[in-house]
Structure 1
Amino acid sequence: MANEWATFGADLHLDLRGAAGLRTGLMDALREAVRSGRLAPGTRLPSSRQLAADLGIARNTVADAYGDLVAEGWLTARQGSGTRVAQRAEPRRGAAAPAGSGGPRRRPSGGPRHDLKPGTPDVASFPRAEWLKAARRALTAAPHEAFGYGDPRGRIELRTALAEYLARARGVYASPERIVVCSGFVHGLMLMGQVLRARKVREVAVESYGLDVHWDLLARTGLRLPALGCDERGTRTEDLAALKGVGAVLMTPAHQFPLGGALPPDRRAAAVDWARTTGGLVLEDDYDGEFRYDRQQVGALQGLDPERVVYLGTASKSLAPGLRLAWMVLPRALADEVAEAKGRIDWQCGALDQLTFAEFLASGAYDRHVRAMRLRYRRRRDQLVAALARRAPDIEVSGIAAGLHAVLPLPPGTERSVLRAAAWQGLSVLGIDAFRHPSTPRTREGLVVGYGTPTDSAWPGALEALCRVLPGE
């Protein structure tokens, strides 16, 4: 019996110090744990036998304390369900004043009814059954050393599968030793920022429209971030030569985020030529390269020069951001430096998810899932375009040949009012100005509409709410 505490089920931390008696102290400790919210409603408590062994007290003492707390309404006890924390009503902080109280009126809380912000897929469509099959196969075949600390580059099984897939599907020149697996694009960009600073790079050019979270991350490493201009053909990469002191450029060439165009061949070549001439690097963010609809697939820029382009990809759009799986395909001269920087921080990402994703890729399940989602997102895109043609014919939607979002240009001076109207409709959507680099003049207005996030059942309502707030509706 001396070691039973090590073999029983769930643990429960309780502080019984200062109690007048064991039973009273136990009841007070449980009440406080529930009152403070540390034990949430529905939480299953250890059995009386288990808790008695853990606390070193008599089982009858625990059973009597449980019984009294059930009688008081703090706990519930049902045959076969054990003892649980009761579903007690708890006061909410900052609750709106009731009607007639004279307090301020507030809109109902709980978030928007419809989410059309770009950057997130339909997570309800995550292929749970196929992923579970892949996880079982991967876990069965996993070597014992997979559960150790491992290589900071990531599991060799995943890097091998990624090398084959990226070469086949995205035109990337890859080999397992050049790939570093990371937990999301931001993680990879953080590592690149550290390596660039260690290499004495002081400036990284960015596109004039993009994500401020990426810019802020690079800025926190001490890098300056001049912006490249853009026009109707996309980012003006020919202007790189005039930016003295720039050692790298961060770009989304296959599908510019958020404006939506593909970088034309001459400007792709200009970016690579600049990198070759100056010894600089192109950081290619291929965030949604798998999703193209009515155009030929645009291959990765990395294929033009694997030694001057760092390719960054992610499973966040194709599968789910919650997986926290991304990858970098690096020039040979950078691979060891980036792996060393990653090893200093967290060593490696979760081995089981890496092994599962490797199996998911190798079995063909990933290709099947991407094709299915491509069809689903294209239907949504087509429904969006058709609805706008009926309800707001003056809006010429753009950026729709690929990806999970569309750009809806708005007349000058209307973006902010449309966003306010959207908020009152319970519609979460972002304007183009939210993505503008601070040094870029405010010359564009519009909405950046993500059509990946809503579930199939929620999409019609979200589309209707969007059409109601557009000018001319």
Structure 2
Amino acid sequence: MNGERQAPAAAGEHPGRGSDFLQLAVGDLPSGGKAEWLAGRLRQAIADGRLAVGSRLPPTRVLAADLRVSRGVITEAYRRLAEDGHLEGRRRGGTVVVAAPSVPRGAAGGGVAGGGATPFSGTPGADVFDALRSAPAVVDLTPGRPDLATFPRTAWLRAERAVLAELSAEHLGYGDPRGAPALRRAVADWLARMRGVRVAPDEVLIVAGTAQALTLLHQVLRADGIDAVAVEDPGSLGGRQHLANGGLGTPPVPVDEEGVRVDALRATGARAVLLTPAHQFPTGVVTSGERRRELLGWAREGGLILEDDYDAEHRYDRAPVPALRALLADRVCYMGSVSKLLAPALRIGWLVAPARHRAALIDAKRFDDLGNAVLPQLVLARLMESGGLERQLRLLRRRHRDRRDAMIAALAEHLPGGTVHGAAAGLHLTVTYTADVPDTEVAAAALARGVKCQPLSWHRQLPGPPGLVLGYAATAPGAIAEGVALLGRGLRELA
């Protein structure tokens, strides 16, 4: 970094000395951005296997002396990789590598991999997200990834101990298929305070995330004579796949700057629609007041709204907007989860349905899995009741805002012709560009350089401009800048 104080060289020291660790040479150090340079070298070494899981890094004081930089440079580089989840400080055990992605074939040389199938080859199938998750990368910018390094382990353990200390033996048996009463109460309170949705605990059905909520709705909707659910376009490929898996049609409805177009929704003839009105995926549009009134008018005429409130709490530069469920309870199935607030691994979410569908959904849940695991439900309830979940949300908002700003700055520098969408909230940005290059080719070129993202065309059924959907929540600012730079380079080479 400019102006940083460098450690003086020892008497008789050769000016070109460096460190035996990774053969880092003093002469390679840039005049500015030293911490970012070192973080990049460490990230590459972890990815290509030179630093295996369990490897211990040199103490910051030792490496600073070797490279003749201030100790703060080394500390900052280590911190960036710790935020990425690659390193962990263990006090007397030093700083240790704890996660090691790999560089894809062709990434080391900076070229586009030639030949061979990628997740972006052809029409995305049911396993496309699994394939992308398993693809090796140095920088992962796929959307929908929360910052798992911030999972509140201490608070969770404290809540778990308290639950186990108070738990009677009978609570270790089969639970209520609707969900543990304690969690249904906590969710009802959370929805009233945070989303403006007033429900009784008995109206809440605990499910294994929004994915299961959609699966349970398949049979209930079909029994009600509904054979198609309209979807936003662009809109979530994953949501569309879940509906199609249940034998439901998914007619597309265009989204504009005010949200889903209700005139186009009416034209589909569909009696149900899947929406993300608080922060539309992937464009980030917030459904306007006028468009909400039109939607509610459509619903009062017999339509059913499936409201996926997937990341409504993650907002930075705009006022909160109420859930549609708060405005028309008897025509909205409301879905939410803690996947983006805590971790997808918990598989805990909730479904609040109109009264006429509630019994059928409870039966569907009962025969599907007898209900979610009880112990994690009780721990989450304790965390919510203690204020721990709100503290987690405040922490995430600060971190996500910084990372969003880093991505916007990187996009302005490396994709200056791009248009950024959805910056006011959420865990991702969408960028569209004018170059006549398919976004699947750009995503494939990025993956060949070690950067993962999603092409916007995955989330379209209708024609539209190419673009990329880029997640920032789980990636440190330095890695974001590095990844976006590689994206920009790939797009320029293809254009």
Matches within 5 A, 1:292-303: 292-303=315-326
Listed as ranges, the gaps of 5+ residues in structure 2 are 1-104, 107-113, 118-133
Of the candidates 247, 250, 253, which is equivalent to residue 225 of structure 1? Answer: 250
Partners of 2:247 and 2:468 in 1: CA distance: 32
Q: Does 1:429 align with 2:453?
A: yes
Partners of 2:166 and 2:477 in 1: CA distance: 36
Q: Does 1:277 align with 2:298?
A: no
Q: Is the 8 A contact 2:218 2:243 kept in 1?
A: yes
Stretch deviating more after TM superposition (132-141 or 174-183) = 132-141
Q: Describe the superposition over 1:72-104 as per-residue Cα deviations: whole angstroms up to 9, x where unpaired.
A: xxxxxxxxxxxxxxxxxxxxxxx99xxxxxxx9
Name the SS for the 2:307 alignment partner: strand
**Structure 1 residues 353 and 121 mapped into 2: Cα distance closer, same or farther (>3 Å)?**
same
Q: Does 1:462 align with 2:483?
A: yes
**Structure 1 residues 322 and 265 mapped into 2: Cα distance closer, same or farther (>3 Å)?**
same
Q: Does 1:449 align with 2:473?
A: no
Matches within 5 A, 1:26-105: none
Of the candidates 419, 422, 443, which is equivalent to residue 396 of structure 1? Answer: 419
Q: Does 1:165 align with 2:190?
A: yes
Partners of 1:416 and 1:342 in 2: CA distance: 38
One-letter amino acid of the counterpart of residue 351, structure 1: V
The TM-score normalised by the length of structure 1 is 0.73
Name the SS for the 1:307 alignment partner: helix
Partners of 1:470 and 1:145 in 2: CA distance: 60
The residue number in structure 2 matching 1:177 is: 202
Partners of 1:334 and 1:253 in 2: CA distance: 22
The residue number in structure 2 matching 1:323 is: 346
Q: Is the 8 A contact 1:207 1:228 kept in 2?
A: yes
**Structure 1 residues 221 and 159 mapped into 2: Cα distance closer, same or farther (>3 Å)?**
same
Q: Describe the superposition over 1:315-335 as per-residue Cα deviations: whole angstroms up to 9, x where unpaired.
A: 111111011011011222222
The residue number in structure 1 matching 2:277 is: 253
Q: Is the 8 A contact 2:414 2:484 kept in 1?
A: no
Q: Is the 8 A contact 1:203 1:248 kept in 2?
A: yes
Q: Describe the superposition over 1:136-185 as per-residue Cα deviations: whole angstroms up to 9, x where unpaired.
A: 11222234332111211100000000000111001112111110001111
Name the SS for the 1:310 alignment partner: strand
The residue number in structure 2 matching 1:83 is: none
Partners of 1:106 and 1:312 in 2: CA distance: 39
The residue number in structure 2 matching 1:119 is: 144
**Structure 1 residues 397 and 110 mapped into 2: Cα distance closer, same or farther (>3 Å)?**
closer
Listed as ranges, the gaps of 5+ residues in structure 1 are 1-94, 97-103
One-letter amino acid of the counterpart of residue 367, structure 2: R
Deviation at 1:251, TM superposition (A): 0.5
Partners of 2:151 and 2:190 in 1: CA distance: 20
Q: Is the 8 A contact 1:238 1:271 kept in 2?
A: no
Q: Is the 8 A contact 1:122 1:455 kept in 2?
A: no
The residue number in structure 2 matching 1:45 is: none
Q: Describe the superposition over 1:262-294 as per-residue Cα deviations: whole angstroms up to 9, x where unpaired.
A: 11111122222111112x210000110110010
Partners of 1:105 and 1:249 in 2: CA distance: 40
Matches within 5 A, 1:384-423: 384-414=407-437, 415-423=439-447
Deviation at 1:110, TM superposition (A): 6.8
Q: Does 1:236 align with 2:261?
A: yes
The residue number in structure 2 matching 1:291 is: 314
**Structure 1 residues 374 and 409 mapped into 2: Cα distance closer, same or farther (>3 Å)?**
same
**Structure 1 residues 110 and 262 mapped into 2: Cα distance closer, same or farther (>3 Å)?**
closer
Of the candidates 167, 174, 187, which is equivalent to residue 142 of structure 1? Answer: 167
Deviation at 1:221, TM superposition (A): 2.4
Deviation at 1:391, TM superposition (A): 3.3
One-letter amino acid of the counterpart of residue 490, structure 2: V
Q: Is the 8 A contact 2:311 2:426 kept in 1?
A: yes
Q: Describe the superposition over 1:277-312 as per-residue Cα deviations: whole angstroms up to 9, x where unpaired.
A: 12x210000110110010111221111111111110
Q: Is the 8 A contact 2:410 2:481 kept in 1?
A: no
One-letter amino acid of the counterpart of residue 388, structure 2: A
One-letter amino acid of the counterpart of residue 251, structure 2: P
Name the SS for the 1:290 alignment partner: coil
Partners of 2:308 and 2:167 in 1: CA distance: 31
Q: Is the 8 A contact 2:403 2:476 kept in 1?
A: no
Partners of 1:243 and 1:460 in 2: CA distance: 42
Displacement over 6 Å in runs of 4+: 104-107
Q: Is the 8 A contact 2:406 2:480 kept in 1?
A: no
Deviation at 1:106, TM superposition (A): 9.7
Q: Does 1:262 align with 2:283?
A: no
Matches within 5 A, 1:2-41: none
Partners of 1:122 and 1:166 in 2: CA distance: 23
Name the SS for the 1:453 alignment partner: coil
Partners of 1:466 and 1:298 in 2: CA distance: 33
Deviation at 1:459, TM superposition (A): 4.1
Measured on the aligned residues, the alpha-carbon RMSD in Å equals 2.4
Q: Is the 8 A contact 1:204 1:223 kept in 2?
A: yes
Partners of 2:349 and 2:446 in 1: CA distance: 33
Q: Is the 8 A contact 2:205 2:352 kept in 1?
A: yes
Partners of 1:210 and 1:105 in 2: CA distance: 30
The TM-score normalised by the length of structure 2 is 0.70
The residue number in structure 2 matching 1:195 is: 220
One-letter amino acid of the counterpart of residue 421, structure 1: A
Partners of 2:261 and 2:363 in 1: CA distance: 34
In our comparison, the structure showing a higher alpha carbon Rg is 1
Q: Is the 8 A contact 1:121 1:452 kept in 2?
A: yes
**Structure 1 residues 106 and 219 mapped into 2: Cα distance closer, same or farther (>3 Å)?**
closer
Partners of 2:309 and 2:422 in 1: CA distance: 16
Matches within 5 A, 1:348-387: 348-387=371-410
Deviation at 1:135, TM superposition (A): 1.0
The residue number in structure 1 matching 2:76 is: none
**Structure 1 residues 366 and 275 mapped into 2: Cα distance closer, same or farther (>3 Å)?**
same
Partners of 2:435 and 2:481 in 1: CA distance: 28
The residue number in structure 2 matching 1:78 is: none
